[in-house]
Structure 1
Amino acid sequence: MGHIYDKEFIQRELPMTKQEIRAISIAKLQLKDDSILIDVGAGTGTIGIEAATYLRNGKVFAIEKEEKGIETLKENIQKFRLDNIEVLVGRAPEVIPTIEYDRMFIGGSTGSMKSILEHFLKYSKSDARIVINAITLETLADATKLLKELNFKNIEVVNVVVSRGKNIGPYTMMYGENPIYIITANKEETE
């Protein structure tokens, strides 16, 4: 299936990762056909669902604790008829399966960033990669500091700003979306 436009998702109360940010975040994950992706703070499921469409032999574990998000997440999975994504209800890292996985996306950590990253280091494969989306400067600072302290490799931060054109009478005005920091890192050094 590939890239999915925002308007195709069922959207309710929780914010969702917009399509341009989603495209970059998924590209940064460098998914393989058989990747096992842990989607922490899945929300309405936009990252995990779109990623699942690229995984013919892989699987996504979507972790969400908010009841309103879980309902919408399940509806979106059903809408796109995906059988390679499983919803895990609760907080990370407690509900992250203790299996070997190779990709993790963090869209929300509810103050548990360090313990989630420690889980990643303990259970992920040697070629594992992590992508963290941060909307606040505090999350950016905390995440990059922890990645360095925990000896992650190839740490990269990209700031993405997207503006959308809206018609105002005969004119088009550009309205900015929130800037997003996309942080990537590897468990071990890569070439």
Structure 2
Amino acid sequence: MHIYDKEFTQTELPMTKQEVRAISIAKLMLKPDSILIDVGAGTGTIGIEAATYMPQGKVYAIEKEEKGLDTIKLNADKFELKNFELIHGKAPNVIPNIAYDRMFIGGSTGSLEDIIKHFLTYAKDGAILVINTITLETQHQSLEILKRLDFKDIEVISVTIGRAKKVGPYTMMFGENPIHIIKVIKSSSNKN
């Protein structure tokens, strides 16, 4: 079920906005029994919403920042998720070494290539990887790594959301930061 931003407990940490979340989750093409690794979970909004689409599946949310852990726990508890596990630590070191079919990367703290290599090692053939980037440098780095590892059909979209706000008697549109969403599918031709 789609969850609106106002339904999440929010703190000072940035949150993936609901429109970007909807597109990112759609790109993951989740199945009811998918196993999703949510790397750089932040406030947990991607993994928590994804868990509602996967009643027989499971989300492993990876977050290294202490300040994000309490917010993620509050939100996971609020939605009474039984298929959501929060793991504190830095990826890829704490990612479970299990077979999975979906990975979302919202933050990588300089370990992007190693995280993608974990995906290549443990994800099933046909698994989907979605990476959200806010900076051009991270987008460029992501594309370079994916090309070097022989990913084919690299899909990249740019999403810009504007929100209407009242300014006196007028309504103006105020833009959010553009987000770049990258999607690839693992195949036997990928290098590791």
Question: Which category describes the TM-score, using the shorter chain as reference length?
Answer: over 0.9
AA of the residue aligned to 2:56: N
- Equivalent residue for 1:89? 88
Amino acid at match of 1:18: K
Contact 1:13/1:68 (<8 A) preserved: no
Mapping 1:38-187, distance limit 5 Å: 38-187=37-186
Q: What is the number of equivalent residue pairs in this alignment?
A: 188
Deviation per CA, 1:37-58: give whole Å up to 9, x if none. Answer: 0000001100000000000110
Q: How far apart are residue 154 of structure 1 and its match?
A: 2.1
Q: Structure 1 residue 168: deviation in Å?
A: 1.0
Q: Deviation per CA, 1:21-78: give whole Å up to 9, x if none.
A: 0000000000011000000000110000000000011000000010110110000000
- For 1:16 and 1:131, the matched residues in 2 are separated by 17
What is the TM-score of this pair, normalised by structure 1? Answer: 0.97
Unmatched 5+ residue regions in structure 2?
A: none
Q: What percent identity do the matched residue pairs reach?
A: 66
Runs of 4+, deviation exceeding 6 Å: none
Partner Cα distance (1:42, 1:53) in 2: 16
Aligned pairs (5 A) from 1:17-32: 17-32=16-31
Deviations 1:89-148 (A, max 9, x none): 000000000000000000000000000000000000001000000000000000011011
CA drift at 1:173: 0.5
Structure 2 counterpart SS, 1:154: coil
Distance between the aligned counterparts of 1:49 and 1:133, measured in 2? Answer: 16
Distance 1:176 1:63 in 2: 29
Q: Measure the CA separation in 2 of the matches of 1:142 and 1:107.
A: 14
| TM-score normalised over the length of structure 2 | 0.96
